[in-house]
Each structure stands twice: as structure tokens, then as C-alpha cells.
Amino acid sequence: MRRRLGAALGLAFLVASSAAAETVPEPEGYRLSDFRAAVPATLRGARVIDTQQAFALWRDKAAVFIDVLPRPPRPAGLPPGAVWRDKPRFDIPGSVWLPETGYGELPEASLRYFESGLARVTVKDKSRPLVFYCLADCWMSWNAAKRALALGYSDVSWFSQGTDGWAAAGHPLEPRDAEPRDDR
């Protein structure tokens, strides 16, 4: 009973957020702040896909799924040497997690991490289908998909409902470690 209620509430949230998305204009550049807010229904140059379409691509192994949700920050004031463990990230099975790559402005090291991560998972084939996501109403996946287009990737999809929509539809999630970074 609780599970059905939770799924129903999640679905209601997604329907409401999808309706709100129709009124959000697509900006010219990247979103630079307030990343958890209503998102546009479009991304010029990319396909915007819903949960059913994302599931079909995943089931058929027809695209590389890229999660861009940031890692939780280390708590402020934690004493030096204190043990800190990231909260586990649960995402779409088989995904590649490139955290901190969905911000509007990326430090040079993060941009290189994003570029090299995409080059690795696509085997440098810029026509390989990519699906970018994070959470529902999260601009980070929109920014990352837009950035992939700017880098010359030609088959880019944006899954705006992210893991929230995926889980609400009853699809599996699995724990994921972030792709390693050379600069850390």
C-alpha cells in the first residue's frame, strides 16, 4: 500500500513538473544558478525524451546513459582527518556517472573530465547516442546535454525526469561510483 502511494505521489509530481516545464523558456546559454527548478520542455539540437523512451533506449542498449548529478559536498566544519563517505548515488543501471559536469560554468579541469569521459564512453565516436540525466527539475542534465552538443556530439538526448521519473515508473536503480578524475 505504501509503495503504491509513493509511486502515485511520485507520478503526480512528475506530471506537475512536466506541465510547469511548458512555460519555462529555453535560455540562450547555460543555466548558471538555481539548478533545482522547473526546466524547459526543449533543448535545441537534442531530443527530449520521457521515461518510456529512456527505458526503451536502456532496454535495447541503444545509448550511453550519462548521470551528471554532483557529489554531495563534504560537510563544512568536519575536522581534518575525519572519515567522510559520500552518500551512495543510485542511478540507471549501466550508466556512467560524471559528477560536477552539469554546472553552467565549469572549471577547466571539470571540462577536461567531461570531454575525456565522453570520448572514452563513445570510443571517440561523436555520433554515438548519448542520454543525459540527473533528477527531475534539474538543470544540470540540460546544461550537460547542451555542452555535449557544443562539443560536436550529434545524437544527444535529454532525459529531464532523471532518476526520479525512472524510479517512479518502477524501473531499477543501482549504486554507482563516479568515474575517476585525474585532477583529484
Instruction: Give the CATH number for residue 129.
Output: 3.40.250.10
Q: Within a 13 Å sphere around the CA of 90, how many CA atoms are in the beta-carbon half?
A: 8
Alpha-carbon torsion angle 48, 51, 56, 60, nearest 10: 90
Helix (H, G, I), strand (E, B) or coil at 174: strand
Better pLDDT: 4 or 163: 163
Distance CA 60, CA 42 (A): 24
- The verdict on residue 12 lying in a domain is yes
pLDDT, mean over the chain? 89
Which pLDDT does position 114 carry in this prediction? 98
Q: Tens of pLDDT along 68-115?
A: 999 877 788 888 888 878 788 999 999 999 999 999 999 999 999 999
Does a structural domain hold residue 141? yes
Going by C-alpha positions, the residue among 153, 154, 156 that lies closest to residue 142 is: 156
Q: How many domains does the chain have?
A: 1
Residue 20 pLDDT > 50, yes or no? no
For 145-156, write each residue's pLDDT tens digit.
999 999 999 999
Q: In this predicted structure, what is the pLDDT of residue 2?
A: 46
Average pLDDT over residues 4-21: 49
